[in-house]
Chain A
């Protein structure tokens, strides 16, 4: 007797994978216990590197914030694929016959949720430590959302590209950082406008961040399956 199989939509499968990853994170607390403190110490160290005279820090705060987020993204992506290496979990997941696009969306969503939580804490840290004003909260939030989706999508895509390869820890930053340079650039400028500057100036940057997020999410859904299959 073999039971009936129900056809499942890509969204439900994605939710299943995201739920699994977030539940594991809730138990293991790697993002909370290690990646978040890492982001905060980076923010703190920038103040040592630059003159902690408030003028300088306020001016460069958006850039420092996104540098910290970028570095944390590398760790979060590494962690998201490390989960799948213990006890042959990747083979187990491959054998389920889950759609590659669904796994991509699920893993990217889990990374995005963790990054969003990190950004909230780092944002508060930057406001408190660097004395930053927030002129346009709407622009700041929209920028963070668009940039986070872009980072999570590219991160997941390059994460699976490097997964299973030897040297993946060193290869991932080299592959990922040049690709997400436009996110770094766009998010920093939009934050400058949204924090100290004129929030209305941020729209072109928000546009480029959104285009980036849409393009790489689409590529991810299409290409992840093939890369997931080939990951050794």
Chain B
């Protein structure tokens, strides 16, 4: 890394979002989250069939949406890294940051779904196609994150390895989806899903759901930027340590020559 890429404190300059933009997104995220709490708990009417339990939806649905968005970003960034013409560290870091957030949102969607299901279905867990696929998705990318934590001998090679792992996991998503879908429709009639329980979404409820989706998406973008920055700083430290190690190594050899 050249001197121009570092600031006065010797830190790398590389940022995902411009600081001003990040601050704006941060403030809007907080405002929209507060609005979501107000609308979700008081603004939206109580559901006629499910009662207050239905309010979990305002968090559950945005979480599930974010999970898919995050994994899609991971796959797209990994593909961009593998393609030689667009290969850059930014895609590797973005893929890793997005996958971690994706696992978090997937986990959140599963827990919230379970909390929602208990009063509505009477069970914590149902062998519903979407639940099962989401659970598998969670483990698919949990494995990817575990792989990322193990450093490779060569940084570029490690990033390539991670990108391939992300893509082969992502390819599995539609296969998992279809097989689980068929499993639950071909071999067992849906028992817990009563069509009448599915809430009709309109009015303030729909608005609240949109609010939740926007708030969570902004939160995702903000966290993505922060996680990206953390990866930059980690790499920057590794680079500085390497420069020091090379200098040290050369100095030992000069000593011998003298």
Contact = CB atoms under 8 A, between A and B. Distances in A.
Contact of B183 (A174, A189, A201, A226): A189
Main secondary structure, interface of A, reads helix
B168 A204 contact: no
Given A161-B147, A175-B147, A185 B180 contact: yes
Main secondary structure, interface of B, reads helix
Nearest to B187: A189
Interface in B128-182: 136, 139-140, 142-144, 146-147, 150, 152-154, 157-158, 160-161, 164-165, 167-169, 171-172, 175-176, 178-180, 182
27 contacts: A157-B168, A161-B165, A165-B147, A166-B150, A167-B150, A171-B146, A171-B147, A174-B139, A174-B142, A174-B143, A178-B139, A178-B140, A182-B172, A182-B179, A185-B183, A186-B179, A208-B175, A208-B178, A211-B175, A219-B168, A227-B164, A229-B157, A230-B153, A230-B154, A230-B160, A230-B161, A232-B153
A223 B168 contact: yes
A215 B175 contact: yes
Ranked nearest first, the 3 interchain pairs of A and B with the lowest CB-CB distance are A230-B157, A178-B139, A182-B179
B186 interface: yes
Interface of B: 136, 139-140, 142-144, 146-147, 150, 152-154, 157-158, 160-161, 164-165, 167-169, 171-172, 175-176, 178-180, 182-183, 186-187
Contact of A226 (B136, B164, B187): B164
A66 interface: no
Contacts of A175: 143-144, 146-147, 165
Contacts of B157: 229-230
Chain A's interface size range is: 20 to 34
A200 to B, nearest CB: 13
A165 B150 contact: yes
B81 to A, nearest CB: 12
A208 B179 contact: yes
Contacts of B179: 181-182, 185-186, 208
B152 A232 contact: yes
Interface string A183-216: 0011001000000000001001100100110011
Quick one: which of B143, B176, B187 has the most chain A CB within 10 A?
A: B143
Nearest to B150: A165
A124 interface: no
A134 to B, nearest CB: 20
B67 to A, nearest CB: 15
